[in-house]
Amino acid sequence: MKKIVTVTGLLLLFAAVIIFYSLTQLKIVNAWDDDEKQIVLPNKVWRVTFTEKIDEKSIKPSLVYVTNEEGVKQSSELTLSDDKKTIYISPPKEGYESNSKIYLLHIKKGIKSVLGRGLISSKRVPFVVEDTLPSIGSKSNLNDYFLTMIKEQKKQDTGFFASREDAKVSSGAMFSSESAKSDSVANNDVSQTNVQVQGVDEADMVKTDGKHIFQAVNNKIDIIQALPAGDMKHLSQIPYDQFFNPSQLFLHDDKLLVIGQSYKELNKPIDQMVDDSMKIAPMHQSTKAIVYDVKNPEKPAQIREIDLEGSYLSARKIGGAVYLVSNQYPDYWLLEQDEDIDIRPKYSDTADGTGIKTVEYRKIQYIPDSRQANYIMIAAFNLDEPKKKANITTYLGGGDQMYMSEDNLYLAVTNHFPQPNRDMSSMVAPDTNIYKFSVDGMNVKFHSSAEVQGTVLNQFSMDEHEGHFRLVTTKGYAWDESRPSSNQLYILDGNLKPVGQLEELARGERIYSARFMGDRIYMVTFKETDPLFVINASEPARPKVLGELKIPGFSNYLHPYDENHIIGFGQDTKVIADKGFGSGTRILTDGVKISMFDVSDMSNPKEKFTEIIGGRGTYSPLNQDHKALLFNKNKNLFAFPVTVYHNQQNNEFEQTFAFQGAYIYNIDLESGFNLKSKISHGKNTAAYDEWESSINRLLYIGDTLYALSPEKITAHDMQTFGQIGELLMK
């Protein structure tokens, strides 16, 4: 009996050793097929992820390297990630050359884990280099792209962080401390949309030409005669059915551009909609742009319509040129049922004939090495030339955030990587690919690409200045205490090649806001306090953190006041005892917080003035949308919509609704923020704010301030802020 127990124990021990040996075997996670050539761009950064932590001493140029077709090793730099599981292989300084027939990425068996386990087998990854984005070219290639995507998704357990997203934004010396001036306005004493880059207009729900107000609200466009303010008139209305939701406007001379989402109702199953010769996947939604002639604002006349399949990503306008971007996730899973389905994106342009067109295979360019299953469509057209067809370019493989200067358009693509399993401790954090497109009138052409560690927050995480592209990213996840997140600044040249960088800033935190102001860069991170980093980038190759300020709360948005002062808009926070578990603390967001930062001494930034509005639950559209701000330094005006809640005593989770409307501040460097007036369209007696009476935008024409909500527009004298006019919306 004892022998049986002993033998059983030995067998169990042997099995445990085998299991441990198997589980700790060092393997490569990347799903590369042995004989399949990868297609990459010249600035490709290879990322090799392993199942176990790597012994840093085992990472040698003799074990990880790239050779060209003649077997010559390429100059590269090896970097190990914070979690010790990923090796980054940088390209040569001038990038890989496309005239080499083939390159090989070598990963040798000599690499070891921290447990001393060697790589189970060597790996060679063949790849070729393209100078520009390659074309899909044929239906079979497009099907293969998506069928491979389906295969990888089934094979890889991508966990929680590779979810589908169906829709989700400077010029340094000329930073936009005030709203951009519209080329359609002769009178400069008229507010315009608060934009990131001066000279590059952004679409918004409200526009004015100094005489009229154009507003997208309640599934319609209202055109209002704004003057005289005491006798505003509703001139006309453009209504839409339930299948089109207008949300964004551009105004150029006597042309109004309405942008919104169009929805198609599918009444028949797909196999009844088309014959077997050409089965087309259903079009669920599209981004529609409608151009109106508003020379006679009482009778707006539609003169053009453009429709791009997919959800609205962003839009910009430079002069009369409009750049409209949509983001579409096709129903590629239909290919498993029927490979004859056509899943190319569709579009229409009334300047290019009637009916819906499908993008030609040769005109679909794809982003090599992308793991995104979506199309980006960019339509460039001129409001001054309504009969000239739009230039539409289509890219397969990404687009999360967009930044645009007067000369270039940039798309940031979050690059998710295969996850070995759902274990949170082995979660592979995403990186970002940057794609630069040169813009020359209606011509939008791919220029160059780069890959950086971490992800961008929004359009304000990116900037172009004096030939350099700058961006800030957060690497990893702030909640991951075993592998703390960190934040970085990357400076790239005109071809997106690395020039300078700062890494490992504010470990354990993530970026909440950023602003680029010429040679100065400001970045706010947060976890328990709000560190404001002041960075000197006057030498692009050697950026330096000169100052850091830690204060309670955080800023979601940073707005320039002048070259030595910046305004932060965000939330106040409180550190309270965690009554649930142990004796720790936790962070609660509280009221809206406005700060004036003095950065005259870059090495010693100061919070010069601060203002707290309301308690927990108080919020403003400005927390998420910079276009909600009305600011004019010369008029001493800082105004925004806000919904205010007050905290109940002795109950951290109970708040009472107090106000919805607009707060109007005077702001200067002597007295800081001075609340001059509150404007409301509601009675503020309900338990919550009411959508119909919620003020969402403010604008001014001359000495009159206008407050806009879905139910009415009110006009106010800018000296007294007394109401001088009111117009109920139809």
pLDDT bracket for residue 430 (50, 70, 90): confident
57 within domain boundaries: no
Q: Is residue 498's pLDDT more than 70?
A: yes
Per-residue pLDDT at 530: 67
Q: What does the buried/exposed string (b/e) look like for 49-85 if buried means 16 or more CB atoms within 10 Å of the residue's CB?
A: bbbbebbeebbeeebbbbbbeeeeebebebeebbbbb
Q: Is residue 428's pLDDT more than 80?
A: no
Q: What is the DSSP string of 233-282?
A: EEEEEEE--TTEEEEEEEEETTEEEEEEEEE----S-HHHHS-TTS-B--
222 within domain boundaries: no
Q: What is the DSSP letter of 499?
A: E
565 within domain boundaries: yes
**Dihedral pair phi/psi, residue 306, rounded to 5°:** -125, 135
With contact defined as beta carbons under 8 Å apart, do 516 and 465 qualify? Answer: yes
Q: 270's torsion region: left (phi>0), alpha (psi -120 to 50) or beta?
A: alpha
Q: What is the DSSP letter of 117?
A: P
Residue 653 CA to residue 640 CA, distance in Å, equals 26
DSSP bridge pairs for 562: 565
pLDDT bracket for residue 186 (50, 70, 90): very low
463 within domain boundaries: no
- The two tokens of residue 365 are 């360019």
130 within domain boundaries: no
Of 544, 474, 545, nearest in space to 509 by CA: 474
Per-residue pLDDT at 252: 98
Collapsed DSSP state (helix, strand, coil) of residue 695: coil
- Over residues 508-514, the mean pLDDT reads 95
With contact defined as beta carbons under 8 Å apart, do 351 and 388 qualify? Answer: yes
Kindly give, in sequence order, each residue whose CB lies less than 8 Å from that of residue 285, ignoring residues fewer than 6 positions away: 261, 262, 263, 264, 309, 310, 311
Q: Is residue 163's pLDDT more than 60?
A: no
Per-residue pLDDT at 184: 38
Kindly give, in sequence order, each residue whose CB lies less than 8 Å from that of residue 16, ignoring residues fewer than 6 positions away: none
- The two most distant CA atoms of the chain are separated, in Å, by 104
- Output 586 or 217, whichever has higher pLDDT: 217
334 within domain boundaries: no
Q: What is the pLDDT of residues 335-392, one digit of tens each?
A: 999 999 999 999 999 999 988 999 999 999 998 877 788 999 999 999 999 999 999 9
Kindly report the average pLDDT of the chain as a whole number.
88
With contact defined as beta carbons under 8 Å apart, do 392 and 376 qualify? Answer: no
Kindly give, in sequence order, each residue whose CB lies less than 8 Å from that of residue 121, ignoring residues fewer than 6 positions away: 109
Rounded to 5 degrees, what angle do the CA atoms 231, 237, 238 make?
160
- Output 239 or 188, whichever has higher pLDDT: 239
With contact defined as beta carbons under 8 Å apart, do 446 and 132 qualify? Answer: yes
Lowest mean pLDDT across 26-35, 154-163, 381-390, 627-636 = 154-163
- The two tokens of residue 166 are 């169906």
Q: What is the pLDDT of residues 658-698, one digit of tens each?
A: 999 999 999 999 999 999 999 999 988 888 889 999 999 99
- Over residues 238-260, the mean pLDDT reads 97
Collapsed DSSP state (helix, strand, coil) of residue 503: strand
The alpha carbon dihedral of 562, 563, 568, 574 has a sign of negative
Per-residue pLDDT at 224: 99
Lowest mean pLDDT across 95-104, 461-470, 578-587 = 578-587
Per-residue pLDDT at 686: 81
Q: What is the pLDDT of residues 19-32, one digit of tens each?
A: 545 556 899 988 78
- Percentage of the chain lying above the pLDDT 90 cut: 69
Q: How many domains does the chain contain in total?
A: 1
**Dihedral pair phi/psi, residue 296, rounded to 5°:** -105, 95
Per-residue pLDDT at 174: 39
Q: CB count, 10 Å around CB of 535? A: 23
Q: Is residue 574's pLDDT more than 90?
A: no
Q: What is the pLDDT of residues 279-306, one digit of tens each?
A: 665 657 999 999 999 999 999 999 999 9
Residue with tokens 């007067």: 406
Q: What is the pLDDT of residues 123-149, one digit of tens each?
A: 999 999 998 889 999 999 999 999 988
Per-residue pLDDT at 210: 98
Of 647, 577, 565, nearest in space to 613 by CA: 647
Q: What residue numbers bound the domain in which 643 lies?
A: 552-593+612-695
- Over residues 235-246, the mean pLDDT reads 96
- Percentage of the chain lying above the pLDDT 70 cut: 86
582 within domain boundaries: yes
Rounded to 5 degrees, what angle do the CA atoms 261, 137, 337 make?
65
- Over residues 154-162, the mean pLDDT reads 49
572 within domain boundaries: yes
Q: What is the pLDDT of residues 11-66, one digit of tens each?
A: 555 555 555 455 568 999 887 877 788 899 998 989 898 989 999 999 999 999 99
Q: What does the buried/exposed string (b/e) look like for 615-627 if buried means 16 or more CB atoms within 10 Å of the residue's CB?
A: bbbbbbbbbebbb
Q: Is residue 410's pLDDT more than 80?
A: yes
Per-residue pLDDT at 179: 43
Q: CB count, 10 Å around CB of 154? A: 8
Kindly give, in sequence order, each residue whose CB lies less than 8 Å from that of residue 444, ignoring residues fewer than 6 positions away: 323, 378, 380, 391, 393, 409, 437, 438
Kindly give, in sequence order, each residue whose CB lies less than 8 Å from that of residue 394, ignoring residues fewer than 6 positions away: 345, 359, 363, 364, 365, 375, 376, 377, 378
Per-residue pLDDT at 167: 35
Kindly give, in sequence order, each residue whose CB lies less than 8 Å from that of residue 296, ignoring residues fewer than 6 positions away: none
Q: Is residue 170's pLDDT more than 50?
A: no
CA distance to 41, 275, 327, 341, 363, per residue, from 142 (Å): 19, 21, 17, 11, 12
With contact defined as beta carbons under 8 Å apart, do 292 and 238 qualify? Answer: yes
